[in-house]
A = this chain, B = another copy of it.
Amino acid sequence: MEQITIKEIAKLCGVGVSTVSRAMNNHPDINEETKQKVLEIIKKYNYVPNNSARNLKRSDSNTIAVLIKGITNPFFSDMIQVFEREAKKKKYSFVIQHVEEFEDEIDVAIQLEKEKRLKGIIFLGGLSSHTEEKLKQISVPVVISTVDVPNLKGKFACVAVDDEEESRKLVNYLCSLGHKRIALLAASKEDASIGMKRLKGYRRALEENGIPYDEGLVAWSQDRIPTYSMENGYGLTKELMESGQEFTCIYAVSDSIAVGACKALFDAGKRVPEDCSVAGFDGLDLAAYYQPSITTIHQPRREMAEAAIRLMFDLIKEKPVEKRQIFQAELVVGRSTRRLP
């Protein structure tokens, strides 16, 4: 298949390449007639301009990118929709870039920025550590979403909830129901991001309630299974039950994990919450739709997404902004937890 280029279109139209270019890009200085003729030929020959060449030549681009670590995470679904809608509203084009588990999201960002002449970058998920230093290699505005990064300077900002505090709030609630042996389905031991913060909140709540922290009640995720999956919750809960530990409540660091936990309990002939309470985190739709509905911390994802994109536009326009927006999450009490008799 021959690659048809702008030159050949020009030749076919009997005009210069610049005229073709003008026709495509809605430039003002062009005769309406010739424009129509050119567009006709373009359509007829199914000519599509090469984006790489465009990106190379252009210096700006009105494109913002969202880099997502864990694109399969339903938590991000709503947020993506908000980004798409708002970007379109502002006539920005919008690209989603999936970052694989093993990839360094900042490297990907740096590369993409050059490739597409981005106007800004939004991170969704990931960004566990190693930030600061490397982030500076990005020269466009950056909004980090879902993870709280203190001391951001310059054209960086973040939108998040206080994972540790919200986690503490939830576990505190569980304690208030009389639970003393609360198992934790944690992220992997290496996790230095939100998984760890939620763990910290768990420990603080226990401490405040005079309950000793018991390693035996913590089930750590393995790396071979996606952490935030129902499957993982199922496996961890099974392990926990087989370990012979006694517990009256399970707190999973995400709703998907919590659902897996419920299933494992059901399969073992237990009832939720009569035999064991279960709580999650995130406030996915799933938590509300599950039977029984899952007690969880609901993050205001749509609002957070709206804030993130607004922050992005403000940073682009160099307006002054609040660089660290921490949202209040909401404790949603479902039917999966109950007061200990």
Contacts and interface: CB of A to CB of B under 8 A. Distances in A.
A301 B188 CA distance: 27
Interface string A41-60: 00000101111110110000
A9 to B, nearest CB: 14
A135 to B, nearest CB: 12
A275 to B, nearest CB: 14
Interface in A77-122: 77, 80-81, 84, 95-96, 98, 100, 107, 110-112, 114-116
Contacts of A112: 51
Interface string A249-260: 000000000011
B48 A114 contact: yes
A115 B290 CA distance: 44
Interface in A256-294: 259-260, 262-263, 266, 285-286, 288-292
A50 B53 CA distance: 11
A333 interface: no
B46 A115 contact: no
Given A51-B114, A230-B286, A266-B291, 9 more contacts: A48-B111, A50-B114, A51-B112, A52-B53, A53-B56, A71-B96, A72-B76, A259-B289, A260-B289
10 contacts: A50-B115, A51-B52, A51-B112, A51-B115, A52-B114, A71-B80, A72-B80, A84-B100, A95-B98, A234-B289
